[in-house]
Structure 1
C-alpha cells in the first residue's frame, strides 16, 4: 500500500483550514483505502478525531429521509466503536431525539459538543444517497457548517467522497453549478480534489514492497509496461501483479512478457472491475462520448456533450474531457471486445488459414475476406449494433479478434482503435 499523503497532498491542508470539500475519483482507485489511512494518521496526531464511514448501506432507503438518517447514524456509530478510540472520543449513546430532516445534523452537533477533539468526517460512497435523502443530508451539513461561525459545535471538516464532482453537489444542495457562494460548504472550493492515478515511480514503489517481502523482483521493463497498459489505474496495477503471482504462479523475476500475458488473461476473463465498466456502455451519456471515439468522428460541441464527457471522465472511462481518449489501453481493448462480441459470432473463417508458411499474417487475404464478410453481414450488423456510427469499426475489430484467436493479439495504438496485428 502506498502512503496516503503523496496521493492527496491538498487534503491535509484543507482539513487543517477546517474546510468542507469534495474528493472524487473513479471506482477502484483506492479512495477508501487512502482515506482510512489518512483518518488514522490524523487521529494518531492527537488533536483530531477523524472518522471515515460509508453511506452505501443507505442506498436502499431512497427518498425515505428518516430511514437514511437512521442508517447513516448507525453506520457512523459502528465505525467509531470499531476504531479502538477511548470512550471520550465516541459519539453519545443514544443519539439525541430530533425531527426527521434535522436528526443527522443534531446528532453530529451533540457528538462535537461531547468530544474534546476537533471532529473530521469522511463520508465515503456519498453517491449512494438518492433524491430527497441526498438533498436533506447536504442541507443539514450546509446548515451545520454555517452555524459554526456562531461558535456552535459541528464537525470542523467534512469530506464528501464518491464519483461525483463538485458541480453535482452544488446542484443537489440547491446551489448554482458554476457560481461561488461562501454560504454553502459545497461552494467553498473553486474545484474539488480528484484522487490521481499512480505514477511510474509509485508503481515501482508498490511492487518493491512485494520484492522486499518475498525477494521476487519486477524488472524496470515490467514496471514501464504496466504503466503503459494501465496509465496508473490502481486496480489494474494491482490486478496485473496479482494475476502474475497468484494465478499464473510465476516464481522467478517478472518481466514485460509476463505482464503482457497477464493483460490478455484479465481481458479475456472479464474481471469484475472491467465488467462493471463495460456494463455502462449502453448508458446514453456514456454512448454519447464513447461512440465518436470508437468511430473516429468529431465529438459533440453542445453543453449536453460537455456534461456527458465530465460524467464519463468521472467514471474513469476517458483520460480527459478535452482530448477525448479511452483512459488506458486495457480499458480500450476491453470495451472494443465487448462491443464486438455479437459480431464475432458471425465470423466463420478459420483463423489458422490466415497464417502464411513463414509465420506472417496474410493481410491481403484478410482485407479481401473482410470485404466479403461486410457485404454479406454489414447491413444486419449495423441494425443490431447499438453504436451505429461506429458499426464498421467495431465489426472490423471483431473480425480481427476472431482471427487472432488462433494465436496472437491486437495492439490498439493511439486514441482511435487502429490495430497492429501481432502473431
Structure 2
C-alpha cells in the first residue's frame, strides 16, 4: 500500500492545527486504511490518542438519535479495546449518564477529561447516519468544539470520513447547502479534503513493492494500460493485479495483454465493488446526471443540478472535472453492460454464426440481423428502458455485447454533450500463415430527435475524426430516428453508402 501521509499531507497539518474537517472519497479508494494507519502513527508518537471507529452500524437507528448514540459509543469502545492501548488511554467504563441527545458529547468530554493525551477522533462511514441522528451527532460535535477549553476538554480534532462532502450532509439532514447558518452543526468544518485516485507514478510505486517482494515485474506497457483503464481508481488498480497474479496464475513478467484479459474477467464477474457502484444507476439523482452522459445529450441544468452532480462525483462514477464523462474505461464498460442486460435477454442469435470461414467477424451480417431485431423488438424495448433518452444506444450495445464479446471485445466512448457514442469492435483471429491478427471495426451512433436537423452530416464528420484516430479506412454510421414522423417500425433499417469529408467510403444504417 502507499503511505497514507503521502496521499493526505493536508490531513496531518489540519490535525496539528486542532481542526475539525471532512475527508471524502468514493468507496474502495483507501479511506479506511489511510485513517487507521494515520491514527496508529499519531498514537505511536506519544502525545496523542488517535482513534478511528465506524459509524456504519448506526445506520439501522434511522431517526432514533438515542439509539444512534448508543451504537456509536459501543463502536467507539470496541475500537479502543482493539487498539491495545494502556488502560489510562481507554475511554471510561461505564459511560457517564446523560439525557438522550447529549450522551455522545458527554461521553467524549469525560474521556478527554481522564485521558492524559490529546484525543483525536476519526468517524469513518459518517454518512451512514440518517436524518435526526446525523443532526444530533454533528450538533453535539459542534457544541463540544465551540466550548472546549481546559475545564471543558473535548477532542482536539475530529475527522468526518465518508462518501460525501459536508455539503451533502446538509442536504441529507434537511439543511440548505448554499447558506451559512450560525446555528448549523456544520459550520465547524474547516476544510473538506478528497482522497484522490492514484497517479501513474503511484501505480508504478505500488506495483514496484510487489516486484521487490517477489521478483515479478510489471512491464511499462502493463502499468500504462492499468492507468489508462482505471484512471488510478485504487480498488481497480489492486483488483487488476490480484486477478493477474492470483486468479490467472501468471508467474512471469506481467504484460499489457494480461492486463486486458484481467479487465475482461473483472467486468464479467462484476465484483462486489462494481456491483455496489452500478446499483446506484437508477437512483433519481444519479440517473439525472448519468442519462445525458450515456445519451451524449446536454443535461437539464437547474438550481439543484450542481448538488446532484457533486453527489455523483463523490460516488466516483464520473470524472472530477469537465467534460462530463464516466470516470474510467472500466466503469464506462460496466455501466453500458448493466443498463443493456434486460435488452440482451431478447437476443436469440448464435454468436458462432457470425464468424467467417477465415476466422474474421461478419459485421455486415450482424448489422442486417440487428435490423430484423430492431423491427421486432425495438419499440417495446425503448418503452421498457429506464434510461429512456439513451435507449437506442443501450439496446444496440446490448445486441453487440451478446454477439461480439464471446470472442472479441467492445470499446465504447461516450460523454454528455457529444451527441454520439463511438464503438470499436476488436476481433482477434489467425491469419493464413498462422500469425495472430486483430480485426477492428468502428461505428458511430447518432440519434435524430424531434425538431432537429438530419444528423448525417455531423455524423459523417465525427466518424471521420474517429477513423483518423484509429487509422482505419472505413466505418459505419448508425442513425436512430426518434421523430414522430419516422417510418413505421416494420420499414426501418435502410443501408446506404456515403462519403466522409475526407473521402472515406462508409456505410450508413438508418433505423
Q: Which residues in structure 2 correspond to 1:20-419 (within 5 Å)?
A: 20-148=20-148, 152-170=152-170, 176-180=176-180, 186-189=186-189, 192-320=192-320, 322-413=322-413, 415=415, 417-419=421-423
Structure 1 pair 177–10 and aligned structure 2 pair: CA distance change class (3 A) = same
Q: Distance in 2 between matches of 1:182 and 1:231?
A: 40
Aligned to 1:187, what secondary structure does the other structure show? coil
Contact 2:21 2:190 in 1 (8 A): no
Q: Distance in 2 between matches of 1:359 and 1:303?
A: 54
Aligned to 2:186, what secondary structure does the other structure show? helix
1:65 Cα deviation after fit: 1.9
Contact 1:145 1:185 in 2 (8 A): no
Aligned to 1:161, what secondary structure does the other structure show? strand
| 1:188-240 deviations in Å (ceiling 9; x for gaps) | 45751111011111111111111111111111111111111111111111111
Q: Distance in 2 between matches of 1:383 and 1:183?
A: 48
Q: Distance in 1 between matches of 2:264 and 2:294?
A: 20
Looking at both structures, which has the greater relative contact order when contacts are Cα pairs under 8 Å and sequence separation is at least 6?
1
Which protein is richer in helix relative to its size? 1
Contact 1:343 1:398 in 2 (8 A): yes
| 1:65-105 deviations in Å (ceiling 9; x for gaps) | 22211111111111111111112111112111111110100
State how many pairs are aligned.
423
1:303 Cα deviation after fit: 2.1
Q: Which has the higher mean CA deviation after the structures are superposed, 141-150 or 329-338?
A: 141-150
Q: Which runs of 5+ in 1 are unaligned?
A: none
1:311 Cα deviation after fit: 1.2
The structure with the largest alpha-carbon Rg is 2
| 1:317-370 deviations in Å (ceiling 9; x for gaps) | 111364211111111111111111111122223323333444443333333332
Q: Distance in 1 between matches of 2:176 and 2:152?
A: 27
Structure 1 pair 176–398 and aligned structure 2 pair: CA distance change class (3 A) = closer
Q: Give me the CA root mean square deviation.
A: 1.9
Q: Distance in 1 between matches of 2:28 and 2:182?
A: 32
Q: Distance in 2 between matches of 1:27 and 1:13?
A: 24
Structure 1 pair 184–38 and aligned structure 2 pair: CA distance change class (3 A) = farther
Q: Which runs of 5+ in 2 are unaligned?
A: 428-511
Q: Distance in 2 between matches of 1:347 and 1:220?
A: 40
Q: Distance in 1 between matches of 2:17 and 2:97?
A: 31
1:131 Cα deviation after fit: 1.6
Matched with 2:9 is 9
Q: Which has the higher mean CA deviation after the structures are superposed, 318-327 or 183-192?
A: 183-192
Aligned to 1:192, what secondary structure does the other structure show? strand
Q: Distance in 2 between matches of 1:5 and 1:175?
A: 33
Contact 2:61 2:68 in 1 (8 A): yes
Aligned to 1:23, what secondary structure does the other structure show? strand
